[in-house]
Amino acid sequence: MWLIRKILFPVSLVYALVVWIRNQFYNFGWFKSKSYSTPLVCVGNLSVGGTGKTPMIEFLVNGLQDQFKLAVLSRGYRRQSRGYVQATDKTLVTQLGDEPFQLHKKFKNLIVAVDADRQNGIQQLTSTVKPELILLDDAFQHRKVTPSFSILLTTYENPFISDWYLPTGNLRDSKVAAKRADCIVVTKCPNNLAPKARKEIEKRLKKHPKQHVFFSYLTYENSVFSNTDKFAFKDLRKKQITLVTGIANPKPLVTYLKTQDIQFEHLAYKDHHNFTASELKELAKRQFILTTEKDYVRLEGKLDTLYYLPVRHQFFDDGAEALLNLVKARI
């Protein structure tokens, strides 16, 4: 795969040129971007792969839901439906996609909708449920909408400044596009990342004077959950565990479980994987299935011994409060 990506370097140059031209068309107003009276907070990244967008949306929901009537609008990646879909008690995971369904299931008072056409999705939400604030999930590259506040995520291990364009690298948007963000959050950092190292990364990001930079690391619960039960880690050490992941980067989860002295086999699938009947049949033979929260909503009801481990962003210093205050001040 590495060799193929290198061979395709000329294609990445063409891709980079197309991305640059598209952004210039928006920058000069030749392509129109629409603004809305309802505040919009955008969460996104410049690259493909997991940067922690869903945990960031959850962080914002937890911090803002007591003060605002919130809605989340997502594309609904790999869902088996089209157009605008707003979640109800009868909505299936296949109609929303795994990440929006996870949010719908987790936050009972949260309005969750999906639409690949973000302008239409916003119009539908504002004309029907009238939220006070809309969180746009994975929308940084969608220039047809002008957000009130933009949060750009990039990972510690592979920051956008060190990346290259598809298909040789993972960038789907220009590095210069980072200037549009109101703040940059460097995610999945080591939890002992020193202040000096953070300063060095901040310099490399070449932020503009009004741009804020935050650093976060992933934290996990000390228990695993199903809809009806939970187990503490000390009880897991007695079980034969199979870790099943269908996420872009399972490395932080694998590393964390090893630090907890959990013995397991790991079955890794591609991001948003739809499990086949034969795969489910094989998984059903395992004694204890542990998975991510995103995978859980796709596997729920298909396996008997299925548990998930919740994950969330933990900010360094007072980053969590500072970020929420920035959002509140803007909207």
Rounded Cα gap, residues 87 and 105, in angstroms? 10
User: CA 328 to CA 229: how far, in whole Å?
Assistant: 36
- 1's CB contacts (< 8 A; 6+ apart) are none
One-letter amino acid of 3:
L
Q: Is 105 annotated as a binding residue?
A: no
Q: Is 54 annotated as a binding residue?
A: yes
124 Ramachandran zone, left/alpha/beta (phi>0; psi -120 to 50): alpha
Say if CB 150 and CB 42 are below 8 A apart.
yes
The answer to whether the annotation marks 51 as part of a ligand binding site is yes
Among 49, 19, 45, 28, residue whose Cα is nearest residue 174: 19
DSSP annotation string for 210-263: T-EEEEEEEEE-SEEE-SS-EEEHHHHTTS-EEEEE-SS--HHHHHHHHHTT--
CA distance 265 to 225: 19
**Is 46 within 8 Å of 152 (Cβ atoms)?**
yes
How many residues does this entry show for the chain? 331
Take residue 21 and report the two structure tokens written for it: 């031209």
Contact 167, 173 (CB under 8 A): no
**Is residue 43 marked as binding?**
no
The answer to whether 52 is annotated as binding is: yes
Peptide bond just before 167 cis, omega within 30 deg: yes
Q: Is 174 annotated as a binding residue?
A: no
**Residues in binding site:** 47-54
**Residues in binding site for ATP:** 47-54
